[in-house]
Amino acid sequence: MSKKLRAAIIGPGNIGTDLLMKAMRSDWIEPVWMVGIEESEGIKRARDFGMKVSTNGVDGLVPSMKEDNIQIVFDATSAYVHAENSRKVVEQGAIMIDLTPAAIGPFCVPPVNLEELLKEGRKDNVNMVTCGGQATIPMVAAVSQVQEVEYGEIVATVASKSIGPGTRKNIDEFTRTTAGAIEQVGGAAKGKAIIVCNPAEPPLMMRDTIHCLTKDEPNQDAITESVHRMVKEVQKYVPGYRLINGPIFDGKRVTVFVEVEGLGDFLPTYSGNLDIMTAAGLRTAEMYAEAMANGDISSTATA
Amino acid sequence: MDLKGKKITLHDMCLRDGMHPKQHQISIDEMIDIAVALDESGVPLIEVTHGDGLGGASVNYGFPAASDEAYLDAVIPKMKNAKISALLLPGIGTVDHLKMAAGIGVTTIRVATHCTEADFSEQHIGLASEMGLDTVGFLMMAHMISAEALLEQALLMESYGANCIYCTDSAGYMLPHQVTERIALLRSKLKPETELGFHGHHNMALGVANSLAAIEAGANRIDGSAAGLGAGAGNTPLEVLATVLDRMEVETGVNIFKLMAVAEEKIVPLMDNIVRVDRDSLTLGYAGVYSSFLLFAQRASAKYGVPSQDILLEMARLKAVGGQEDLIEHVAMEMAKAKK
């Protein structure tokens, strides 16, 4: 029996398709189903890749989940439908990796807290925060691992073309969820998130500025080393994650500038914001698969 | 130009846009003092809070002397006739801020997006409109796109529930005919009951001329700021505009001598540096750069030893939009590295 975990992806849009292309290369995940709510380009692409498809939402997937041994489901739809999707697939014994900002389950930013989550055992639902969160929270954590951070603030600038209608309609979900995760995962006492959208042509690469205000004078050497170490951790699953300036120190302010270039699987390389999301989601699923294969966590839901 | 008999709502910016040149440090007492004086001058609408609007308090834009809530709480009860507005930039502020401001008594909410990104405002405009607030869609950096493209975005904001649409010249870049073209097209295609506004910056010393062009083309709300206190070379100087409109027999309801006194006696003494057209602010207007980048570029210039004018020109080349203050320090660092 293959050690690969069989997976379904809900949401055949840009994110879902990019995730599918990454998952098809995975040693640990085998994508089997793509779930949409109607016939669409995304469904057609998934069918061409040999996926089973549902055009009837999650209800079209649920009856086959046991038979097809679907153990991982990714949700790349929207925060508003996520809760229902999650309930239905968890009932069938799968782990839900949530790529929406719904944040029902615990936040997961792989290089910061995935190991800890795995130690806690099986989870029904893990949330991948937001694209801005995936790109910046590792840097907040890199500082807070050295010393107390009273305030963490991130500014994510993304190309207009890389932000879909769902995110635009619910931009507050982005700011709120990211700010919450800067605190809960990044380790800042207080978090703030700002997103700026730039329509320039050619589209600009995702860039993020991370500001931390430390409680005491920053330990410059230790923070610099920690930031460089964390950048390498992120690069393990997002090779185009780059430190472009900093850390710079100005009193108790520590500022780091990063740029995120995507792999260009389905999405263009400038949309590093989307790439880091799909890469983080897949990375999380792979680590669960590995932990299950090693018997570290249960491969079946505890009823 | 004959504007005689037109009724125009003047909207003062010195306690919001004016927070930029003050690095958001106007005190609560100063806010009350100025707002009361503006109210007594007959200015009908006054904007208050952080320069970057509700929720703007941040490392990136600057921490203010007091919270948005504290400013609004202090100013609103003191108003006899004037109404207080607040600005909200989705991506910075959220509907929670909007609800807070409305709860304190803000009657006008202006939801601002970059001119191509109106669909970020649906949530906020929708809610403000549902709450019965005077709801304004504020399209920033409107010089960057054509009149036709601006119209598309204005129609979106109107469809979400905005009862007024602004053409916002955040960079003080527009020439009068460009204002005319945009406002005239909006006027001909938006609902007749939808109000139109113009927000100018005085970087090319065209604040007043552009406002007149906007009025002639169909705008009925005009932003200005007493003594021009605002980002860049400031906003359209409100007392100057009001005086010109008085001569042109336009009805504003403003007592121009009282407003002149506010500008002269209260605002000018408050300025850390005289807000005026100078090399850097003129460069903003010339190159089309977001006006509140000015002080950030000047601070980065001092820290990294590269000319502020060059930083601003580089920001223009990178097509930076409002909110990208964080890019300025990075740009200055890169320029300093290149110089070595």
Q: Which of A187, A12, A192, A180 is nearest to A104 (CA)?
A: A180
For residue B117, how far is the Cα from the chain centroid? 17
Instruction: Find out whether B71 and B101 touch, Cβ atoms under 8 Å.
Output: no
For B98, name the nearest residue in chain A, comparing CA atoms only.
A172
Give the helix/strand (H/E) hosting B249: none
pLDDT tens per residue across span B305-331 = 999 999 999 999 999 999 999 999 999
* All structural domains of chain B with their residue ranges: 9-270, 292-339
Separation of alpha carbons A251 and A154, rounded Å? 18
Q: Which residues contact B37 (CB under 8 A, 6 or more apart)?
A: B258, B261, B262, B266
Residue A126 amino acid letter: V
Question: Residues of A with CB below 8 A from B324's CB?
Answer: 157, 196, 198
At A2, the pLDDT band (50, 70, 90 cuts) reads low
Question: Residues of A with CB below 8 A from B91's CB?
Answer: 171, 174-175, 194-197
pLDDT tens per residue across span B268-314 = 999 999 999 999 999 999 999 999 999 999 999 999 999 999 999 99
User: May I ask the CATH class of domain B9-270?
Assistant: alpha beta
Question: Residues of A with CB below 8 A from B327's CB?
Answer: 157, 207, 209
Instruction: Find out whether A154 and A209 touch, Cβ atoms under 8 Å.
Output: yes
With an 8 Å Cβ cutoff, is A242 touching chain B? Answer: no
Q: Do A197 and B324 touch (CB under 8 A)?
A: no
Residue B226 token pair: 């007493």
Q: Which of A231, A229, A233, A263 is nearest to A244 (CA)?
A: A231
Q: Give the best residue of A167, A168, A210, A212 to mutate against chain B (max B CB count within 10 A).
A: A168
Q: Which of B244, B180, B166 is nearest to B208 (CA)?
A: B244
Q: Do B120 and A171 touch (CB under 8 A)?
A: yes
- In this structure, the number of other CB atoms found within 10 A of the CB of residue B107 comes to 15
Domains and CATH numbers, chain A: 5-128+278-293 (3.40.50.720), 131-269 (3.30.360.10)
Mean of the per-residue pLDDT values for chain A? Answer: 93
The pLDDT value recorded for residue A303 is: 41
For B145, name the nearest residue in chain A, comparing CA atoms only.
A199
Whether residue B237 is preceded by a cis peptide bond, meaning omega within 30 degrees of 0, is no
With an 8 Å Cβ cutoff, is A161 touching chain B? Answer: no
Instruction: Find out whether B85 and B107 touch, Cβ atoms under 8 Å.
Output: yes
**How many interface pairs between A and B have CB atoms less than 8 angstroms apart?**
86
Q: Give the best residue of B60, B61, B292 to mutate against chain A (max A CB count within 10 A).
A: B60
Question: Min CA distance, A56 vs chain B (Å)?
Answer: 28
The pLDDT value recorded for residue B3 is: 96
Half-sphere exposure of A210 toward its Cβ, with a 13 Å CA cutoff? 32
Question: Residues of A with CB below 8 A from B123's CB?
Answer: 169-172
Residue A302 predicted with pLDDT over 90: no
Share of chain B above pLDDT 70, in %: 100
With an 8 Å Cβ cutoff, is A66 touching chain B? Answer: no
At A301, the pLDDT band (50, 70, 90 cuts) reads low
Separation of alpha carbons B338 and B340, rounded Å? 6
ipTM: 0.94
First to last CA, chain A: 24
pLDDT tens per residue across span A136-161 = 999 999 999 999 999 999 999 999 98
Residue A60 predicted with pLDDT over 70: yes
Q: Which of A115, A161, A114 is nearest to A274 (CA)?
A: A161
Encode A234-246: b = buried (16+ Cβ within 10 Å), e = exposed. beebbebbbbebb
Q: What is the DSSP letter of B332?
A: H
Question: Residues of A with CB below 8 A from B321's CB?
Answer: 196-200
First to last CA, chain B: 55
For B125, name the nearest residue in chain A, comparing CA atoms only.
A169
Nearest to A197 among B60, B91, B318 (CB): B91
Residue B60 predicted with pLDDT over 90: yes
pLDDT tens per residue across span A33-43 = 999 999 999 99
With an 8 Å Cβ cutoff, is B94 touching chain A? Answer: yes
Residue B67 token pair: 């919270």
Q: What is the DSSP letter of B136?
A: E
With an 8 Å Cβ cutoff, is B117 touching chain A? Answer: yes
At A298, the pLDDT band (50, 70, 90 cuts) reads confident
Q: Which residues contact B106 (CB under 8 A, 6 or more apart)?
A: B72, B76, B84, B85, B86, B133
Q: How many residues does chain B have?
A: 340
Q: How many residues does chain A have?
A: 303
Share of chain B above pLDDT 90, in %: 99
Question: Min CA distance, B314 vs chain A (Å)?
Answer: 14
Whether residue B44 is preceded by a cis peptide bond, meaning omega within 30 degrees of 0, is no
Question: Min CA distance, A151 vs chain B (Å)?
Answer: 9
With an 8 Å Cβ cutoff, is A165 touching chain B? Answer: yes
Strands A29-35 and A253-260: unpaired
Q: Do A198 and B329 touch (CB under 8 A)?
A: no
Task: Just list the catalytic residues of B.
Answer: 20
Q: Do B321 and A169 touch (CB under 8 A)?
A: no
pLDDT tens per residue across span A283-293 = 999 999 999 88
Half-sphere exposure of A264 toward its Cβ, with a 13 Å CA cutoff? 6
Question: Residues of B with CB below 8 A from A153's CB?
Answer: 58-60
With an 8 Å Cβ cutoff, is A157 touching chain B? Answer: yes
Residue B101 amino acid letter: A
CA B98-B103-B104 angle, to 5 degrees, is 105
Residue A18 token pair: 């990019």
Residue A224 token pair: 């610099």
Q: Do B330 and A245 touch (CB under 8 A)?
A: yes
Question: Min CA distance, A51 vs chain B (Å)?
Answer: 34
Separation of alpha carbons B50 and B57, rounded Å? 7
Active-site annotation holds for A197: no
Separation of alpha carbons A88 and A124, rounded Å? 11
Instruction: Find out whether B194 and B158 touch, Cβ atoms under 8 Å.
Output: yes
pTM: 0.94
| DSSP per residue, chain A | --SPEEEEEE--SHHHHHHHHHHTT-SSEEEEEEE-SS--HHHHHHHHTT-EEESSGGGGTHHHHTTTTEEEEEE-S-HHHHHHHHHHHHHTTPEEEE-STT--S-B--IIIIIHHHHHT---SEEE---HHHHHHHHHHHHHHTTS-EEEEEEEEEEEGGGS-HHHHHTHHHHHHHHHHHHHHTT-EEEEEEEEEEE--SSPPPEEEEEEEEESS---HHHHHHHHHHHHHHHHTT-TTEEEEEEEEEETTEEEEEEEE----SSS-TT-HHHHHHHHHHHHHHHHHHHHHHTTSS-SS---
Cα distances (Å, whole numbers) of residue B174 to A271, B131, B155, B182, B210: 32, 34, 21, 10, 8
Mean of the per-residue pLDDT values for chain B? Answer: 97
186-225 in chain A: CB under 8 A from chain B: 192, 194-200, 204, 207, 209, 211, 213
pLDDT tens per residue across span A170-217 = 899 899 999 999 999 999 999 999 999 999 999 999 999 999 999 999
Architecture of domain B292-339: Orthogonal Bundle (1.10)
The pLDDT value recorded for residue B61 is: 97
Separation of alpha carbons A98 and B293, rounded Å? 38
User: Would you call A34 exposed, middle or buried from its count of C-beta atoms within 10 A (0-12, 13-18, 19+)?
Assistant: buried
The partner residues of A242 in beta bridges, in order of sequence, read A259
Q: Do B116 and A213 touch (CB under 8 A)?
A: no
With an 8 Å Cβ cutoff, is B73 touching chain A? Answer: no
Strands A95-98 and A70-75: parallel
